[in-house]
Amino acid sequence: MSISTIAKKLSTAAIAATVIVLGIGAVAQATVLTFDDIAPVSYFDLIPNGYGGFNWNNFYYVNGTNTAVSLTGYDNGRVSGDYVGFNGGGAPAVVSGSIFDLNSAYLTAAWNSGFSVTVEGFKSGASLYSKTVVVNTTQPILVNFDYFGIDELKFKAFAVQQDYRTHFVLDNFTFNEKATSVPEPTLLPALLAIATVSAGSVLRRKQLKQS
């Protein structure tokens, strides 16, 4: 193999190594919110702003094992632990924060089966995604959203029957935070220089062996 060919391969390897280094910081790990790590309550309370890094508007959490809601969707909708989230009064509810990806969540009807829940994803006020699912009280439904690069979610439940209570249950809210540990642009030249020097050292050793 010629010296020029080796040099080209080492240069390519140096660039690839730099890209890998930069890519490591961009990997985001999924976070699952189960509502079991908020302060315990005997019945229900508001989900505090800051939980999971989000602001929660009209979202509550409830102990699904409480006898007042046993055998309802609050109980049946528990995927992990004792607690689940729900929309207060059956009204629309909002989750907002910094840019994130919504992976999935489990949804269950609290009191009445057969109504719909629409989940809309926004970025800077612009609607990017929308998905509607019909929920029941007997078991949670896993909804794979795959909403990327959003900063707000709006949940809205609606039913044909006017007397329906459109409370829905939310559990195992799974999301990815956008990476914040990507190296600053000013570090790029330094990383490239390090990779290039390393490749040059290997090339020089190869030349010495051939002389």
According to the model, what pLDDT value does residue 10 have?
Answer: 43
- Give the residue from 96, 89, 80 showing the smallest Cα distance to 110: 89
User: Do both 98 and 197 map to the same domain?
Assistant: no
Q: What is the pLDDT of residues 167-192, one digit of tens each?
A: 999 999 999 987 544 444 455 455 44
HEC secondary structure over the chain = CCHHHHHHHHHHHHHHHHHHHHHHHHCCCEEEECCCCCCCCCCEEECCCCHHHCEEECEEEEECCCHHHCCCHHHHCCCCCCEEEEEHHHCCEEEEEEEEEEEEEEEEECCCCCEEEEEEEEECCEEEEEEEEEECCCCCEEEEEEEEEEEEEEEEEECCCCCCCCCEEEEEEEEEECCCCCCCHHHHHHHHHHHHHHHHHHHHHHHHHHC
Q: What is the pLDDT, as a whole number, of residue 161?
A: 75
> Residue 29's pLDDT is what?
85
Q: Give the CATH number of the domain where residue 71 resides.
A: 2.60.120.1350
Specify whether 100 is located in the same domain as 34: yes
Which domain, by its residues, includes 204?
Answer: 3-26+184-210
CB 108 within 8 A of CB 136: yes
pLDDT per residue as tens digits for the range 44-65: 999 999 999 999 999 999 999 9
Domain co-membership, 75 together with 151: yes
**Do 106 and 191 lie in a common domain?**
no
43 and 77 co-located in one domain: yes
Q: Residues 150, 56: one domain?
A: yes
Same domain for 15 and 58, yes or no, is no
Instruction: Give yes or no: residues 188 and 172 share one domain.
Output: no
pLDDT of residue 27: 52
Residues 192 and 101 in one domain: no
What is the count of structural domains for the chain?
Answer: 2
The verdict on 50 and 96 lying in the same domain is: yes
pLDDT tens per residue, range 104-153? 999 999 999 999 999 999 999 999 999 999 999 999 999 999 999 999 99
Please indicate, yes or no, whether residues 74 and 166 belong to a single structural domain of this protein.
yes
pLDDT by residue (tens digit) across 15-44? 444 444 444 444 568 999 999 999 999 899
Q: Is the pTM value of this prediction over 0.85?
A: no
pLDDT at res. 200 = 54
| Same domain membership, residue 198 and residue 147 | no
